[in-house]
Amino acid sequence: MDHQSAFIRAIKGEKLNPKPVWFMRQAGRYLPEYREKRAEAGSFLDLCFNPEMAAEVTLQPIRRFDLDAAILFADILLLPMFMGQELSFEAGEGPRLKPALQDGPVILSHDKLHDGLSPVMETIRLCREGLSEDKALIGFAGAPWTVATYMIAGQGVKDPSALRGYAYENPEKFEILIRELEIATIDYLRRQIKAGVNAVQLFESWASGLPVEFLRAFCLEPAMRIARALKADFPDIPVIAFPKGAGVQLKEYAEAGIFDAVSLGTETDPVWASETLSQHVSLQGGLDPLLVVQGGKPMLKAAENLLKTFEDKAYVFNLGHGFVPQTPPDNVAELVKFIRAF
C-alpha cells in the first residue's frame, strides 16, 4: 500500500502548508499516561516487549495531540541486546550493556535477533490497526556508529566521539562491528516495513565531534548502504537520516541521493539548511526541545522562525532532539495548535 498521509507526502518532497508535525520522544515520561503504563509494565524493557502496552504508549500522543505521525515505541538498544550483550536500564543511570566491548572480547551473533525482536513486529501490527489512514507510522533504528558507542562503552558517555579511540586501537574489530550492525539493521528495518511501518528514521545521535573521514566511513556510508538495501525491496518507503551534530557534513547526507529527508538538530542553522540542503531532500525538525519546557512566547517565536524559513520548502515540523521529561504537555498542545494555524 502506498501510504499518502500529509507526513509521507512532505517527506517525499511536497511543499505542504500547514506543515505536518510529529515529535521525537513524543511518547515518554513527560506524559502522565505514559508514566502510568510504564509503572504497570514494571520496567522500560517490559514495556518495549509487551506489544499491547507498547502499542498503547505509541498511540497515546496521537490521542492527546493533533499529530500526523506516530513513532513506534521501542529503543535503538534492543538490537545489541540480542547480539550478545545484556541490556538493563538502572533507575536514573541510563542504559547499561554488559559486557562492554572495551573491557574484553564479546562474541557477536545474529541467532537471537529474529525471535528476540518479534514482539516489536506485533507492536507495529497493533499500532497500524489503531491508526487511521491519514496518520503515518514511523519505524526506526539506531545508525551503526551510535549503537556502537553504547556497545563499546557499555553505557552512555559524555563524549561518545572519543570512542573513535577504540576504533583506532582495534580497527579490524571495529569494522566488523559496524558491518554486523549494518546487516542486523537492514534486516530489522525490512521486518518493520513488512509489519506495517510507513517510513523509517535512522538515529545517528552522536555524529558530532568526528573527523570528516571517520564520519564518512562509519556514519554516512553505512547509512547509505542501509537505505540502498531498503530501497531495493521497498522503493516507496521513505528513509529519513538524522545525523545529529554532523555540521556542514549534513550537505553530504542531503546530496547522497538515497535519503528522502534529513532531520535537523537543535544546533543547525535553519537558514543555512534551507539554502544548502532543501534542493536535494525534504527537511524535518530543528526546534530546541528545551524551549518547549519554557513554552510561551520564546517557544512560539522559534516555531514561527522555522515555519517562515521553510514556508516554501518540503518540511516536517519536529524538534532538534527528543522531548525531555520535564516538558509540560500543555506547551506541546499550544505548539501543535500554533503550527496548525500558521
Binding of ligand CP3 at residue 27 (CB under 6 A)?
yes
CB of residue 311 to ligand CP3, shortest distance in Å: 26
Please give the Cα distance from 219 to 223 (Å, whole number).
6
Binding part of the chain for ligand CP3, among 74-82, 123-131, 208-216, 264-272 by CB under 6 A, reads: 74-82
Q: Of the two residues 76 and 250, which places its CB atom closer to ligand CP3 in the complex?
A: 76
Return the number of the residue (31 or 283) whose C-beta is nearest ligand CP3.
31
Can you tell me which of 6, 8, 21, 24 binds ligand CP3, judged by CB under 6 A? 24
- Least separation, in Å, of the C-beta of 219 and ligand CP3? 14
Instruction: Single out the residue of 183, 177, 163 nearest to residue 108, CA to CA.
Output: 177
Q: Is 42 in the site for ligand CP3 (CB under 6 A)?
A: no
Size of the residue set binding ligand CP3 (CB under 6 A)? 20
Q: Which is nearer to ligand CP3, 39 or 271 (CB)?
A: 39
Task: Spell out, one character per residue from 53 to 72, where the chain touches ligand CP3: x when CB under 6 A holds, - when not.
Answer: ------------------x-
Least spacing, CB of residue 265 vs ligand CP3, in Å: 10
Among 7, 30, 82, 140, binds ligand CP3 (CB under 6 A): 140
Q: Is 87 in the site for ligand CP3 (CB under 6 A)?
A: no
Site for ligand CP3 in 174-203 (CB under 6 A): 203
Instruction: Choose, by CB under 6 A, the member of 205, 282, 284, 309 that binds ligand CP3.
Output: 205
**Interface with ligand CP3, residue 73, by CB under 6 A:** yes
Binding ligand CP3 (rule: CB under 6 A), the pick from 54, 77, 124, 292 is 77
The residues carrying an active-site annotation are 25, 29, 38, 75, 150
Q: Which residues bind ligand CP3 (CB under 6 A)?
A: 24-29, 38, 44, 71, 73, 75-77, 94-95, 140, 156, 203, 205, 322
